[in-house]
Amino acid sequence: MRLHRNLCFSVIDGLTLIFNEGNYADKVIQQLLKRDKRWGARDRAFVAETTYDIVRWKRLYAEIAEVKEPFDRDNLWRMFAVWATLKGIKLPDWSYFENTPTRKIKGRFDELSKIRKFKESIPDWMDEIGEKELGNEIWTKEIAALNEQADVILRVNTLKTTKEKLQAELFDLDIESEFIKDYPDALKLKERANVFTTEAFKNGFFEVQDASSQLVAQFLNVQPGMRVIDTCAGAGGKTLHIASLMENKGQIIALDIYANKLHELKRRAKRNGAHNIEQRPIDSTKVIKKLYDKADRVLIDAPCSGLGVLRRNPDAKWKLQPEFIEKIKITQQEILQQYSRMVKVGGQLVYATCSVLPSENQNQVKTFLASEAGKNFTFLKENKVLSHKSGYDGFYMALLERKA
């Protein structure tokens, strides 16, 4: 591979924004890719993947390059040189790469690869909490899996098409995909591709949604004609899946504290042809109280640490703080206590997170069931999805039923 100066400059500019100014990697990369209309697919892929790669391995590369935050541009070029050397890419004779100690880099990499927090490039606190909650063996496997690049998975919108038809339509565009056993609505791309420019996407035939995330709506046991409340709907990935499982029959009430996310859901629902979704921002406790005892099904896709989705959000490793996890656990329990009251007698509730930590998952469910509000519920089943076992994001979901 030959390195091109303008592409490398873009990567360095992107890393400056992500590491030094706290910008989100996905937003920065979106901006970078609009820089030069002459870039082809390969150029764009280089910028996106290299930036994500250096973000993912920040701690390891900084340690090898012997640089500390905040990184100046020279520091970032040194980290870039480490990335290129470890990838086996020949460094051009640019001034940034003068005196790059290639052999020392490889030796230091071998040395640091024996220590998990460096090998997997994570903060000390994250390594400690992972080992404490999951045990040494499982955490070692899990964090390694969470550092792998995520596959592109589509969820077929069955309101508009079938898996077979969509697969054929994408194949005509030279986008090859395969079915995944036990994931009825999923198509996995064999190679990464920008699917958002396709007519199939514009026509609402699919959404991009990880396979693990697709399990949540199915876990909710929805049927056409029900009244379903998605309490933390956000931009509505799971809401839209619920709508397709309900065949557009019945009512879905999508709640969120952020009205702008619900606007995005409205736009997506229109594209998906999902007509049974009503958006309601939670701007006061009245919104919740009005719905007490009203729902056949309630989904609480709770705010969480997001440790299960590090593969697609590698910068979360550096933005997340242990204090946030402690705070979010209090919020999770409050949400369970309040929102569970929307379930009617005989109705069901799913509590879900995209975390792999038991303290955010099964422990929260146990605490709830032992509480006054939780005494009205029976635990039916749970699904702990670990990345190293599934090959997809880490997730948790528990199904509870309100007693008659």
Active site positions, annotated: 354
Examine residue 92 and say whether the peptide bond preceding it is cis (omega within 30 degrees of 0): no
Between β-strands 183-189 and 251-256, what pairing exists: parallel, antiparallel or unpaired? unpaired
